[in-house]
Amino acid sequence: MPVLDAPPALAPGPALSPATDRRPVEQAVVRDALSGEPPETLVVTDIPQPDGLLVYPAWTDGGDVLGDRIDRLALARGVDGWSWIEILHRHARTTHRGRITIRAYPLRLVLADVERGYRGDETHRAGLARLLADEAARHGLPPLPAPGIPEWGGVGPRLRNRRSQ
């Protein structure tokens, strides 16, 4: 058996080097997550970053329009932040791709809960109000107005984008 005196020559081609811009990969993950979901779905992708977490909300076909409709209805009916948390939790389909978390929310199911007036557990709502009041006091901030729960958090792009600015 012959012994190599030197490593074999590599085929010519572009040299590979690490990329510093993560955005193309992150956007590809979001596009791939969207492609696997049915129409009228909110897809939230959480991508860990060295300094925190990057959250990408995106909508499949028709999801943006339906999400905005749900938000208008929820706000008009006074649906609060605790109900928003519980409704989304009830319908979330969560998957993982490595350290990336993808949550899909079928918006027709969310709409049905808002239309029928789902409010979530009152004991948990009271607990969240106490927690928020305690945290406000601890940081020297005024408490939220009664009942001490923020308003509906949003499932459509208009409300979610307004809140992120």
Q: Which residue has the higher pLDDT, 75 or 28?
A: 75
Boundaries of domain holding 102:
23-146
The DSSP call for residue 10 is P
pLDDT of residue 145: 83
d(CA 111, CA 66): 8
pLDDT of residue 147: 82
Q: Could you tell me if residue 120 is inside a domain?
A: yes
Mean pLDDT of the chain: 89
Closest CA to 107 of 160, 146, 144: 160
Q: Could you tell me if residue 124 is inside a domain?
A: yes
Cα torsion 123, 124, 128, 131: sign? positive
How many domains does the chain contain in total? 1
Task: Report pLDDT digits (tens) over 92-135.
Answer: 999 998 899 999 999 999 999 999 999 988 999 999 999 999 99
